[in-house]
Structure 1
């Protein structure tokens, strides 16, 4: 059971370390030190929901709704392009007084944005429901599959907390509008690149 737990932990870590829209958003909020704990918990809970769905019902969702993958692909691409455009617009305007000052978006709006990055990204379903579910299929006993899912869920929580709270180390470098402009350009490019990969894959 311990081996299954650590296999789940390592498998999740190997999948989640890739740079994605969700990770970039949490990194940005971590630098701003805004709603970090709720965002980390929401991201980890979302992953856990999808992980357990994959482990318990691997393949069932795809069979029930074979067209959902394409729909999610285009929905995710539109969402990523829109957010990327907003970051390019912010970089063009260059007015970061609200970013550097006390202004902030509400927790509700921030969580809704993160929900979009999470559930409108087809890759998250491939990674959690697909790959995690497929790897868990090697275990015959339910107890081993559940230990695997628990390890993967814990791996997600550890990663997002490290990303969100570790981002604070970058805060001293982000004290100028120029630094934020560079970050927003990089974020925008990342979002558009991911959107292009979604559509072309």
Structure 2
């Protein structure tokens, strides 16, 4: 049981760790100290739902609908291109620091953006439905449940750690120049991910 839970935790944590669109968004919200709890909770709960679905065997959905991955890739790429453009525009415009940037997005808008990053990202389905679902087949019964709980707990630890841990970087983000660099880097990440999705579509 403990070994299965540890395997689930380590597997999920390793998959989430890569810097992607969702993680970049959580990091930015953490730096802004804007809706951090709700953003982290939505990310973690979304992962929990997908991990549970993968372990329960619903990864066959993709096999039943072969058009789904391409449609999701195109929709995700379009969103990433637009969001990247918004961050690039913010980087070029500059003029804001951490103190005056906190009111840039309402809770509703932030949650919608967060949900879009999560549910229109084809890679999250590969990681949760396919990969974690496949790894979980090595366990049976209670051990498989322990694997799932370990994987879900990894999502909560990672997202809340990222969201609230970002505050440690706050002293570095007091200047408008630092925000221009951050927004520019996020824009490049978004465009790179969009290019990858379009190439695989």
TM-score with structure 1 length normalisation? 0.95
Answering whether residue 180 of structure 2 is matched by residue 194 of structure 1, we say no
Aligned residue number for residue 163 of structure 2: 164
What does the per-residue CA deviation read over 1:18-46, in whole Å, with 9 as the maximum and x for residues that have no partner? Answer: 11000000000000011111111110000
Q: Which residue of 2 aligns with 1:32?
A: 32
| Cα distance in 1 between the residues matched to 2:62 and 2:196 | 21
Q: Deviations over 1:80-111 (max 9, x none)?
A: 010000001111111326x5325241111101
- Corresponding pairs, count: 199
Say which SS state the counterpart of residue 95 (structure 1) adopts. Answer: coil
> In 1, Cα distance between the equivalents of 2:72 and 2:65?
12
3-state secondary structure, aligned to 2:179: helix
Q: Which runs of 5+ in 1 are unaligned?
A: none
Q: For the Cα contact (< 8 Å) 1:54–1:132, is it kept in 2?
A: yes
- The aligned residue for residue 154 of structure 1 is 153
Q: What's 2:115 paired with?
A: 115
1:115-158 alpha-carbon deviations (Å, 9 max, x no partner): 0110110000000001000000112x232211111100000000
Rounded to whole Å, the distance in 1 between the matches of 2:193 and 2:83 is 12
1:57 corresponds in structure 2 to: 57
- Matched residue, 1:87: 87
> Which whole-Å CA distance do the structure 1 matches of 2:86 and 2:105 have between them?
15
TM-score by length of 2: 0.95
- Residue aligning to 1:182: 181
Aligned residues of 1:29 and 1:35 also touching (Cα < 8 A) = yes
In 1, the alpha carbon distance for the partners of 2:103 and 2:158 equals 28
CA RMSD of aligned residues (A): 1.2
3-state SS of paired residue (1:66) = coil
Q: Which runs of 5+ in 2 are unaligned?
A: none
2:84 and 2:188 in contact (8 A); partners too: yes
- Check conservation: 2:53, 2:59, Cα contact below 8 A: no
**Residues 155-182 of structure 1 deviation map (CA, whole Å, 9 limit, x = unaligned):** 0000011100000011111111111111
